[in-house]
């Protein structure tokens, strides 16, 4: 999966891709690429992006900076991820995107995208689903407000692992994890010190093995349970399983939250 077809792999999670679409995607990402070094900004807040970018390889992240200097990482961009499709509506970025590792990018011009959409309408649908998936991830990150340190970090690791698996970047129960503990801290709203101690706690009970930028999850199911992770929000299943009927107006919401204590034991 070191090839240029990472975007194909990514979009295949959303729709069935035919030969024609696959080629169209490959061509799209080959036209104009660019390399950015590690720990640099790709786009700053206030910029007006002319392109839609595709991460071909490497890790990046979105972040916002508060006036007093605090920074919050609001999402990670993995190979196969695009940003920002809403750049089609040329507007100022309200956040920045920076790299963690060296990153290879494809720049898709808006005209070429429109053209590809016209020739392959399913591509437009795939892009829309990609956007919807990104939105779902963002919502899930909001839920971190209700989580403690173990849950936040465990949830993040589950999410990253599964997203990497979706583009074939895992090896068994292992994957690269090029982010530092300080990155995790800035993403989860914790201090690096506390992230460190929390990781040690999780290691000590065997939930994770994390060393030299490689993450191993011995028992993904166990980790998911321990931190109440459910992958459904990632919508990586081609979205074909409708369950309940909608429009059941008037049902009452479930009871309020009950007290809780982390279940790492």
Task: Return residues touching DNA (CB under 7 A).
Answer: 148-150, 180-182, 189-194, 196-200, 259-260
Task: Work out how close the CB of 174 gets to a copy of itself at its nearest, in angstroms, rounded to a whole number.
Answer: 27
Which entry of DNA, a copy of itself, none binds 198, CB below 5 to 8 A by partner kind?
A: DNA
- Using the minimum distance from each CB to a copy of itself, give the nearer residue, 5 or 151: 151
Give the number of other Cβ atoms within 10 Å of residue 255's Cβ: 6
Stated as kind and residue range, the H or E segment containing 74 is strand 71-77
- Using the minimum distance from each CB to DNA, give the nearer residue, 21 or 151: 151
Task: Work out how close the CB of 121 gets to a copy of itself at its nearest, in angstroms, rounded to a whole number.
Answer: 13
For the chain, the straight-line distance linking the first and the last C-alpha, in angstroms and rounded, comes to: 38
- Using the minimum distance from each CB to DNA, give the nearer residue, 42 or 208: 208
Which entry of DNA, a copy of itself, none binds 172, CB below 5 to 8 A by partner kind?
A: none
Nearest 5 degrees, angle CA 149-CA 84-CA 122? 110
How long is the chain? 265
Question: For residues 264 and 238, what is the distance between their CA atoms, to the nearest angstrom?
Answer: 32
Give the three-state DSSP class for 215. strand
Give the number of other Cβ atoms within 10 Å of residue 172's Cβ: 7
**Site of tokens 């040690």:** 200
- Cα 239 from chain centroid? 18
- Starting at the edge strand found earlier in the chain, the sheet holding 209-211 runs 170-171, 174-176, 214-216, 209-211
Task: Work out how close the CB of 201 gets to a copy of itself at its nearest, in angstroms, rounded to a whole number.
Answer: 19
- Using the minimum distance from each CB to a copy of itself, give the nearer residue, 169 or 226: 226
Which entry of a copy of itself, DNA, none binds 136, CB below 5 to 8 A by partner kind?
A: a copy of itself
Which entry of a copy of itself, DNA, none binds 129, CB below 5 to 8 A by partner kind?
A: a copy of itself
Task: Work out how close the CB of 263 gets to a copy of itself at its nearest, in angstroms, rounded to a whole number.
Answer: 9
- Using the minimum distance from each CB to DNA, give the nearer residue, 33 or 200: 200
Are 18 and 24 in contact, with CB atoms under 8 Å apart? no
Handedness of CA 128, 132, 134, 138 (dihedral sign): positive
- Using the minimum distance from each CB to a copy of itself, give the nearer residue, 3 or 37: 37
Which entry of DNA, a copy of itself, none binds 200, CB below 5 to 8 A by partner kind?
A: DNA
Which entry of a copy of itself, DNA, none binds 115, CB below 5 to 8 A by partner kind?
A: none
Task: Work out how close the CB of 191 gets to DNA at its nearest, in angstroms, rounded to a whole number.
Answer: 4
């Amino acid at each position: 999966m070191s090839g240029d077809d990472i975007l194909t792999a990514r979009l295949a999670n959303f729709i069935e891709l035919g030969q024609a679409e696959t080629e169209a995607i490959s061509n799209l990402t080959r036209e104009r690429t660019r390399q950015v070094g590690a720990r640099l900004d790709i786009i700053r807040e206030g910029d007006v992006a002319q392109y839609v970018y595709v991460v071909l390889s490497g890790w990046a992240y979105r972040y916002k900076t508060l006036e007093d200097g605090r920074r919050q990482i609001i999402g990670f961009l993995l190979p196969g991820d695009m940003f920002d499709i809403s750049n089609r509506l040329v507007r100022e970025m309200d956040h920045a995107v920076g790299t963690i590792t060296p990153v290879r990018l494809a720049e898709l011009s808006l005209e070429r995208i429109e053209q590809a959409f016209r020739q392959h309408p399913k591509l437009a649908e795939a892009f829309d689903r990609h956007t919807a998936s990104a939105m779902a991830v963002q919502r899930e990150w909001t839920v971190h407000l209700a989580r403690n340190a173990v849950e936040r970090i465990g949830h993040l690791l589950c999410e990253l692992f599964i997203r990497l698996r979706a583009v074939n970047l895992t090896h068994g129960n292992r994957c690269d994890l090029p982010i530092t503990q300080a990155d995790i801290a800035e993403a989860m709203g914790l201090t690096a010190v506390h992230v460190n101690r929390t990781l040690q706690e999780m290691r000590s009970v065997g939930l994770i093995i994390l060393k030299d930028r490689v993450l191993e999850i011995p028992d993904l199911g166990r980790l998911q349970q321990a931190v109440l992770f459910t992958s459904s929000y990632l919508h990586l299943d081609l979205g074909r399983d409708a369950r309940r009927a909608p429009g059941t107006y008037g049902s009452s919401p479930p009871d309020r939250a009950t007290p809780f204590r982390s279940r790492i034991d």
